[in-house]
């Protein structure tokens, strides 16, 4: 049987990397949403996001006269014509360099930010005169790795290795001060779709407000959004709410309707009723709403626009020479249904929103679930990055206006024709946008004047930790609901919903506080990153029976009409009877690729109190899509989270129902994430164990990188003896995970042996340990910067090196340049490096402060950007060996975690008839309650694979009741002469006698986790205490104590250990003494007085005397022992006027 490990192919690929393709192209697809969204900032097929952004910002007009002036004055117009972002290059004043390009590896090693020069074409014009333009530098913009602004963009494996990168480098992250940062994907409300909501918080806005509302999140072309919410009032009218610069505004919806198009009350009434005049619930409320609006005493569109302009002129900071109508038009453009450009389209959709709101109140439709993936999309990293950049560009223009207005109001000389004045004004505001973007990436904090229509201000970025490769790729597939929801007490947002099938992994979510909020996309789920071409869709819809029926006054409408929307725009109507036929025909031509395959066609059928019916078509970006098989022609159809709810998709062939089922899954494992797919035989395990494994796989000491030599991470874990698993799913090979070994194949015996395997403890063969089983290494970084000893601009007074005054003991570890020898062993207190103080002429050292022995692995000299000054900064990489010790944590791939209890001598371990001895012994009691049957199956499969030299497929759902895994692997064992069920007779290692029972033994892939005793041990006798309570502080790094809590106290009480309890909680904690007056019971009234005693006529001495200030006597004073925390409590109560009286007994 040929080998299926592909070892020779992997070695050939490793030794001879290609310069034309990647060895594992599937890995590049995982980060495609990140890179594509960043690329869209400047180079999509039509126009970049930043170009749309500056179009939306528009021209800002500023007058040189006060706002209340009757004259117009001179008008200065300022705008941004273009945004330019260059590739990372060396500074312009660098002359001597082989290449001016900067690559990511250099930024990592020098702890710099990988950024390109960002500039804008800034234009201004005075009174329609000549247009002036200049290129203004706005800082260094951080660049995403492998994006269209990265110098690695077109590199393949060979070129990447030449530039010190991984052979399969994926990119998708930023490098900020040498640290890799990712903008995490956030789940947000689906754009351009009207959602019906019932929220009790809506009723808190005022006495007349109710809990009913509809909301739509509208997205502009530059991906910024504006949410419009329509509230239902108790009197039947509606108010539209929007947010502008974090301030809420509520406007009667009729005012917006009449401002959009020229119409009258009758026209609005007919359009809202849609021919259903018998529905008195609708008609009564519409009539009342129109009647109430008569109090505004306006009729025409121009009058309504004037009201809007008058109310919002100051809020939007528009020039005084704008008419109210022009301001009103500006308001409509900026805040109302901003995804639509046509007023008639806005009018139509606003009518639809009112109808849907009334249907919700009447009970004709239900509310939409905002926690369902059906109503959600992904906030792409590049889109968020562009939103922040747009706001900072807008802030720059606003700052110019603010400065000029301030000068005008303070009656300074404002002359727009004076170039010097304009130059001063243009240069005064902070224009370093790159610095603000770097701050956002470094901290994850959003500093925004508008809030960007988002619900949180922090937690947007994370460090791309490379604990191991599983954890690294999981960062690119995780989606977070947002830090706002983490603070909610309700568990509704955390629930796993059926609508998540195929999009969100039901297994891969952490336990604890982020549970259900931090999810991971399924392996087959794709995120659409660009707007699709949907121009032909209305034509096809018309051919299929859609009627393009504009809502105009006097038009007679029919009942049972269903709305058809394309990206939030009403394109037509159809009858309920023809709706499904239209949706099916449109889907068929989509699969035939007459329209883009990633178009989402959501047909919501009419129902009794269900979701509001309609055909909703989406072609926008940021949607989740996944491939399924279309049974009609066997081709692939891409299905979205909105449409899937109303589709019939079979999971297995036997699930297909003729005439009902339209689609079928390609594989049942498509519902699982990448890490969940890698759990062997996960369908045999209890669900919580699979969840635990998803977390432990990301905490395993493995192979974080194949370019370890060029990594400068603060802390890296490396497993020296990693192996490829014998039992692996197909996805393991697809993603090339053999290049990143994450554990070791171990012979595992399930036996209760020696008693050292209780409570999940495991015994490891000492000979296996000596051969390198689980042997790990930790790499740590130390940075020494001599620039910290001088102020900015001061001359250099320190240099690395050793003077003649350096003792011999230093020279054993350090060379003459003051830097340590490679391979030198350091213990606590040894010199790490030495430097010379030129002013004092003495040598100083920085000592190694670690608690465990370390070896010098690498020393890097870090020069300045220009390369002119002498070296002031070095990076030293330390290598700390970490062989397994008692207490270190291990785990199988089935959530069976345990700690090492003993390294057992090989001569005393049991052995099989063939002489094999186990590497690991675990207790059989680990299985009954955990029900991890998959580990039993893996043990059999690994045993077969080791015997035949083949890799065993452990893809979940591959076996069933008819064709079981036990039969498949059991027959292989029989052919090899072993027991069908995996048991073997074993003999005691101490007596040589055969055990009375056969022992279950096989090969299981074991992981060594990063949780090690060396990082967690804590011991303290005396140490620092809290200056308020005088109790020991907490924290291992601060030499703090271990908390003795209430449950520990209860345990001692249950054993009757009162004196031990007193010793722990008082004597060794915050023991103190104070004086108590037994008469008044107070500990605060005892005063120390000085009395003079005569020895003779010439001599006296002073004696301290304690007495109660209230009782005025020392008779009742007693010295008592109390905890300092009690004294602090009594002091706090006394400050509030509460007196504590202590009652004492004399023993």
Beta bridge pairs of residue 123: 79, 133
* Cβ contact 44:530 at 8 Å: yes
Residue 1094 pLDDT class (50, 70, 90 cuts): low
- Indicate if 165 and 51 belong to the same structural domain: yes
What would the pLDDT profile of 129-154 be if each residue is shown by its tens digit? 899 999 999 999 999 999 999 999 99
Q: Mind listing the pLDDT tens digit for each residue in 695-747?
A: 999 999 999 999 999 999 999 999 999 999 999 999 999 999 999 999 999 99
Mean pLDDT of the chain: 91
Q: How far apart are CA 1069 and CA 1049, in angstroms?
A: 14
Which spans in 720-825 are helix H? 730-734, 766-770, 808-811
Of residues 1128 and 67, the one with the higher pLDDT is: 1128
In a domain, 496, yes or no: no
Q: How far apart are CA 101 and CA 116, in angstroms?
A: 10
User: Residues 846, 980: one domain?
Assistant: no
**537-590 pLDDT, tens digit each:** 999 999 998 988 744 444 445 567 889 999 999 999 998 889 999 999 999 999
Q: What's residue 738's pLDDT?
A: 92
For residue 494, being part of any structural domain is answered with no
pLDDT on residue 1101? 54
Do 753 and 789 lie in one domain? The reply is: no
22 and 147 in a single domain? The answer is: yes
Q: Which of 54-58, 63-67, 633-637, 843-847 has the lowest mean pLDDT?
A: 63-67
Place of tokens 């229509």: 453
Q: 653 and 699: one domain?
A: no
1058 is a domain residue: no
CB count within 10 Å of CB 350 equals 25
User: In the structure, what pLDDT confidence band is assigned to residue 979 with cuts at 50, 70 and 90?
Assistant: very high
**CA-to-CA distance for 1085 and 502, rounded, in angstroms?**
73
Whether 750 has a pLDDT exceeding 50, the answer reads: yes
Burial of 333 (0-12, 13-18, 19+ CB in 10 A): middle
**Angle of helix 265-273 relative to helix 343-362, nearest 10 degrees?**
60
Q: Tokens representing 692? A: 């635990």
> Residue 87 has which token pair?
């590739």
> Do 548 and 542 meet the contact criterion of CB atoms below 8 Å apart?
yes
pLDDT tens digits, residue range 323-346? Answer: 999 999 999 999 999 999 999 999
Distance CA 393, CA 382 (A): 16
Residue 836: inside a domain: yes
* 1127: CB partners within 8 A, 6+ apart: 1072, 1074, 1083
Beta strand pairing status for 952-953 and 727-728?
parallel
Statement to judge: residues 1088 and 1101 lie in one domain: yes
Rounded Cα gap, residues 532 and 619, in angstroms: 5
Give the tens place of pLDDT for each residue, 352-364: 999 999 999 999 9
User: Is residue 520 domain-resident?
Assistant: no
Q: What is the pLDDT of residues 105-133, one digit of tens each?
A: 999 999 999 999 999 999 999 998 899 99
Of 614, 636, 668, at which residue does a domain stop?
A: 668
How does 624-656 read in b/e, with b if 16+ C-beta sit within 10 Å? bbbbbbbbeeeeebbbbbbbbbebebbbeeeeb
Nearest to 109 by CA among 881, 848, 880, 877: 877
Summarised one tens digit per residue, pLDDT across range 374-386 is 999 999 999 999 9
Cα→Cα distances 5→223, 463, 557, 727, 774, Å: 46, 33, 68, 10, 22
User: Are 640 and 787 part of one and the same domain?
Assistant: no
Residue 369, pLDDT score:
95
Between CA 557 and CA 549 the distance in angstroms is 9
pLDDT of residue 550: 46
Say if residue 655 is in the same domain as residue 546.
Answer: yes
407 is written with which tokens? 């000068």
Residue 232 lies in domain: 192-376
CA 773-778-780 angle, 5° bins: 170
Q: Are 906 and 862 within one domain?
A: no
Q: Is residue 459 part of a domain?
A: no
Domain boundary among 320, 346, 376: 376
Question: Please, is 1126 exposed, middle or buried when counting C-beta atoms within 10 Å of its C-beta (0-12, 13-18, 19+)?
Answer: middle
Residue 472's pLDDT is what?
Answer: 95
Segment 183-188 mean pLDDT: 96
Q: Would you say residue 854 has pLDDT above 90?
A: yes
- Can you tell me which residue has the tokens 């089935």? 894
Please determine, for residue 78, whether its predicted confidence score (pLDDT) is greater than 90: yes
pLDDT of 2 higher than 70: no
Residue 555 is predicted with a pLDDT of: 46
- Say how many C-beta atoms besides its own lie within 10 A of residue 984's C-beta: 21
Res. 296: pLDDT tops 90 = no
Whether 236 maps to a domain, the answer reads yes
- Quote the pLDDT of residue 909: 95
| C-alpha span between 935 and 1003 (Å, rounded) | 10
Nearest CA to 330 out of 354, 300, 310, 358 is that of 310
pTM higher than 0.85 for the full model? yes
Model confidence band, residue 5 (pLDDT cutoffs 50, 70, 90) = confident
The torsion angles phi and psi of 496, rounded to 5 degrees, stand at -85, 120
Query: Distance between CA atoms of 114 and 106, rounded to whole angstroms?
Result: 9
922 and 842 share one domain: no
Residue 553: predicted pLDDT: 40
Question: Domain for residue 432, yes or no?
Answer: yes
Cα Rg of the chain (Å, integer): 37
Angle between helices 324-335 and 301-312 (to 10 degrees): 80
1 has a pLDDT exceeding 50: no
Confidence label for 1084 from pLDDT (cuts 50, 70 and 90) = confident
pLDDT score at 1096: 60
Does 294 share its domain with 429?
no
- DSSP per position, 206-220: -TTEEEEEEEEEEE-
CATH code at position 267: 3.90.1110.10
Q: How confident is the model at residue 850 (pLDDT cuts 50, 70, 90)?
A: confident
Selection from 590, 594, 675, 569 nearest residue 640 by Cα: 590
The yes-or-no verdict on residue 431 having pLDDT over 60 is: yes
CB 50 within 8 A of CB 222: yes
The CATH number of the domain where 765 resides is what?
Answer: 2.40.270.10
Q: CATH number, domain at 625? A: 3.90.1070.20
How far apart are alpha carbons 834 and 784 in whole angstroms?
10
Distances (CA, A) of 551 to 125, 358, 545: 43, 18, 18
Q: How many domains does the chain have?
A: 6
Contact yes or no for 874/784 (Cβ under 8 A) = yes
**Same domain, yes or no, for 302 and 369?**
yes
Question: Looking at 451, 481, 501, which one is the last position of a domain?
Answer: 451
873-889: pLDDT as tens digits:
999 999 999 999 999 99
């Amino acid at each position: 049987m040929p080998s299926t490990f592909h070892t020779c192919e992997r070695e050939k690929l490793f030794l001879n990397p290609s310069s034309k393709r990647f060895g594992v192209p599937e890995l590049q697809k995982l980060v495609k949403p990140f890179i594509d969204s960043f690329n869209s900032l400047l180079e999509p097929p039509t126009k970049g996001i930043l170009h749309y952004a500056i179009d939306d910002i528009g021209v800002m007009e500023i007058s040189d006269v006060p706002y209340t002036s009757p004259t117009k004055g001179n008008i200065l117009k300022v705008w941004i014509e273009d945004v330019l972002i260059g590739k990372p290059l060396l500074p312009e004043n660098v002359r001597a360099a082989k290449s001016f390009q900067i690559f990511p590896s250099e930024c990592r090693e020098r702890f710099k930010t990988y950024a390109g020069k960002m500039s804008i074409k800034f234009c201004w014009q005075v009174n329609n005169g000549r247009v002036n333009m200049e290129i203004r530098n706005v800082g260094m913009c951080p660049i995403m790795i492998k994006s269209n602004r990265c110098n690695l963009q077109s590199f393949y494996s060979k070129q990447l290795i030449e530039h010190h990168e991984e052979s399969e480098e994926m990119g998708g992250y930023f490098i900020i001060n040498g640290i890799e940062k990712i903008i995490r994907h956030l789940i947000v409300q689906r754009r351009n779709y009207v959602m019906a909501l019932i929220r009790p918080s809506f009723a808190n806005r005022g006495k007349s407000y109710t809990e009913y509302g509809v909301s739509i999140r509208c997205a502009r072309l530059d991906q910024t959004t504006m949410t419009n919410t329509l509230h239902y009032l108790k009197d039947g009218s509606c108010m539209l709410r929007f947010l502008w610069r974090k301030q809420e505004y509520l406007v009667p919806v009729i005012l917006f309707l009449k401002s959009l198009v020229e119409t009258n009350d009758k026209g609005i009434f007919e359009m809202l009723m849609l021919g259903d005049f018998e529905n008195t619930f609708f008609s009564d409320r519409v009539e009342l709403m129109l009647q109430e609006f008569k109090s505004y005493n306006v009729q025409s569109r121009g009058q309504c626009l004037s009201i809007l302009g008058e109310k919002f002129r100051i809020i939007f900071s528009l020039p005084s020479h704008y008419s109210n109508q022009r301001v009103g038009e500006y308001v409509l453009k900026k805040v109302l249904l901003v995804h639509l450009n046509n007023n008639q389209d806005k009018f139509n959709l606003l009518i639809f929103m009112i109808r849907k709101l009334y249907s919700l109140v009447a009970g004709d439709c239900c509310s939409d679930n905002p926690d369902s993936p059906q109503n959600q999309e992904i906030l792409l990293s590049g889109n968020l990055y562009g939103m922040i950049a747009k706001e900072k560009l807008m802030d720059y223009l606003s700052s110019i206006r603010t400065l000029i207005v301030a000068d005008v109001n303070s009656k300074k000389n404002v002359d727009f024709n004076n170039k010097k004045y304009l130059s001063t004004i243009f240069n005064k505001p902070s224009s370093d946008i790159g610095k603000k973007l770097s701050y956002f990436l470094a901290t994850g904090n959003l500093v925004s004047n508008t809030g960007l229509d988002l619900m949180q201000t922090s937690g947007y970025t994370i460090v791309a930790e490379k604990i191991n490769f599983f954890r690294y790729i999981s960062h690119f597939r995780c989606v977070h609901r947002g830090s706002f929801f983490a603070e909610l007490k309700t568990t509704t947002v955390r629930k796993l919903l059926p609508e998540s099938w195929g999009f969100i992994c039901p297994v891969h979510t952490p336990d604890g506080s982020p549970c259900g909020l931090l999810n991971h996309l399924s392996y087959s789920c794709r995120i659409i990153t660009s707007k699709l071409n949907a121009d032909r869709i209305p034509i096809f819809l018309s051919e299929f029976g859609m009627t393009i029926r504009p809502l105009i006054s006097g038009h007679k409408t029919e009942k049972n009409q269903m709305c058809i929307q394309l990206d939030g725009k009403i394109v037509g109507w159809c009858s309920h009877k023809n709706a499904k036929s239209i949706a099916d025909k449109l889907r068929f031509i989509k699969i035939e690729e007459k329209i883009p395959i990633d178009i989402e066609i959501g047909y919501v059928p009419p129902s009794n109190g269900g979701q509001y019916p309609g055909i909703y078509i989406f072609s926008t970006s940021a949607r989740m899509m996944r491939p399924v098989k279309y049974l009609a022609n066997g081709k692939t159809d891409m299905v979205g989270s909105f449409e899937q709810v109303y589709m019939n998709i079979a999971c297995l062939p036997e699930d297909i129902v003729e005439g009902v089922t339209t689609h079928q899954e390609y594989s049942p494992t498509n519902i699982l994430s990448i890490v969940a797919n890698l759990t062997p035989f996960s369908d045999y395990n209890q669900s919580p164990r699979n969840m635990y494994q998803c977390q432990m796989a990301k905490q395993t000491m493995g192979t974080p990188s194949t370019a370890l030599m060029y990594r400068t991470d603060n802390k890296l874990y490396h497993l020296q003896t990693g192996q490829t698993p014998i039992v692996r799913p197909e996805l393991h090979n697809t993603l090339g995970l053999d290049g990143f070994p994450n554990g070791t194949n171990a012979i595992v015996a399930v036996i209760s042996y020696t008693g050292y395997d209780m409570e999940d403890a495991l015994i490891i063969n000492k000979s296996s340990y000596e051969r390198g089983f689980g042997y790990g290494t930790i790499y740590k970084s130390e940075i020494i910067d001599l620039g910290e000893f001088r102020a900015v601009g001061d001359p250099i007074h320190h240099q690395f090196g050793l003077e003649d005054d350096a003792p011999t003991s230093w020279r054993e570890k350090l060379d003459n340049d003051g830097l340590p020898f490679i391979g030198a062993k350091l213990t606590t207190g040894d010199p790490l490096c030495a430097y010379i103080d030129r002013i004092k002429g003495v040598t100083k050292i920085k000592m190694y402060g670690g608690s465990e022995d370390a070896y010098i692995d690498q020393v890097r000299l870090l020069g300045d950007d220009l390369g002119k000054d002498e070296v002031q900064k070095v990076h030293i990489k330390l290598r700390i060996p970490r062989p397994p010790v008692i207490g270190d944590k291990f785990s199988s791939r089935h959530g069976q975690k345990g700690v090492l209890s003993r390294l057992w001598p090989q001569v005393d371990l049991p052995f099989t008839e063939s002489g094999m001895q186990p590497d690991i012994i675990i207790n059989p009691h680990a299985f009954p309650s955990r029900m991890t049957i998959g580990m039993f199956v893996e043990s059999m499969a690994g045993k077969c694979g080791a015997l035949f030299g083949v890799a065993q497929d452990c893809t979940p759902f591959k076996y069933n009741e008819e064709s079981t895994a036990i039969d498949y692997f059991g027959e292989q064992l029989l052919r090899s002469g072993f027991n069908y069920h995996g048991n073997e007779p074993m003999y005691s290692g101490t007596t040589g006698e055969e055990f009375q029972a056969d022992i279950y033994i096989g090969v299981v892939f074991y992981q060594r986790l990063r949780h090690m005793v060396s990082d967690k041990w804590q011991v303290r006798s005396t140490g620092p205490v809290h200056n308020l309570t005088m109790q020991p502080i907490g924290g291992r790094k601060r030499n703090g104590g271990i908390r003795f809590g209430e449950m520990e106290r209860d345990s001692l009480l249950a054993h009757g250990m009162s004196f031990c309890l007193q010793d722990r909680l008082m004597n060794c904690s915050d023991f103190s003494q104070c004086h108590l007056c037994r008469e008044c019971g107070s500990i605060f009234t005892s005063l120390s007085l000085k009395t003079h005693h005569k020895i003779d006529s010439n001599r006296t001495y002073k004696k301290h005397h304690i007495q109660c200030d209230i009782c005025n006597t020392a008779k009742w004073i007693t010295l008592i022992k109390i905890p300092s925390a009690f004294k602090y409590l009594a002091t706090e109560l006394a400050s509030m006027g509460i007196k504590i009286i202590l009652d004492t007994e004399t023993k």
